[in-house]
Amino acid sequence: MTTVLYPGSFDPVHNGHVEIVETASQLFDHVIVAAMRNPQKSAGVLTLEEREQVLTETFEHLDNVSITMFSSLVVDLAQEMEADFIVKGLRAVSDFESELQMAQMNKAISGVHTIFLPSASEKSFLASRLINEIARYGGNVSSMVPPPALRVLREKFST
């Protein structure tokens, strides 16, 4: 049985993330989606509780997907969860280099491998930061995020 870990900020989860989870859910036996609480970064748009709630609703139709929160090194979580490897999405060249660097440092400190799933190109332009900026100004992001994330953004920015 293959268990994979898919870590991220998910602030909020968008349709590019959803696609990666659906693909991983199809290719592997168990997918753990893990939202990271980063004490170094500023608070974020959604609280960690909101992210967990949104992720849970978004993936409740997929039996082999579970949700967790964490505030440790991702490789420590991978070992604790007995994940076989880490899964990341790859959209663009700018993603690629920092992801490769992180994958190699993670391998060096723990032996845990990272594999990459390419984004379907029609999702490759999505980015949580830009989605939040559009939502803040009242723009319509309903084609970019799953319904539970849209509901939270609307509450947040009263749009």
Identity of the residue numbered 57:
E
Which of 25, 30, 91, 119 is catalytic? The answer is 91
Q: How far is the CB of 56 from a second copy (least distance, A)?
A: 26
Report residue 34: phi and psi, to 5°: -120, 115
Which C-beta is closer to a second copy: that of 33 or that of 36? 36
Whether residue 39 has a cis bond before it, omega within 30° of 0: no
Nearer CB in complex with a second copy: 41/60: 41
Burial of 150 (0-12, 13-18, 19+ CB in 10 A): buried
Catalytic: 14? no
Which residue among the candidates 14, 17, 30, 51 is catalytic per the annotation? Answer: 17
Write 106-109 long-range contacts (CB < 8 A, 24+). 106/74, 106/75, 109/73, 109/75
Which residue's CB is nearer to a second copy, number 60 or number 76?
Answer: 76
Enumerate binding residues for a second copy (CB under 8 A).
2, 23, 26-28, 40, 72-73, 75-76, 84-85, 90, 92-94, 96-98, 100-105, 107-110, 113-118, 120-127, 130-131, 133-134, 136-141, 143-144
Specify whether 17 is catalytic: yes
> What would the two tokens of residue 122 be?
């029609």
- Considering beta carbons, is residue 125 or 155 the nearer one to a second copy? 125
Q: Active-site residue 9, yes or no?
A: no
Distances from the Cα of 113 to the Cαs of 46, 58, 63, in angstroms? 30, 27, 25
- Residues classed as catalytic: 17, 41, 91, 128
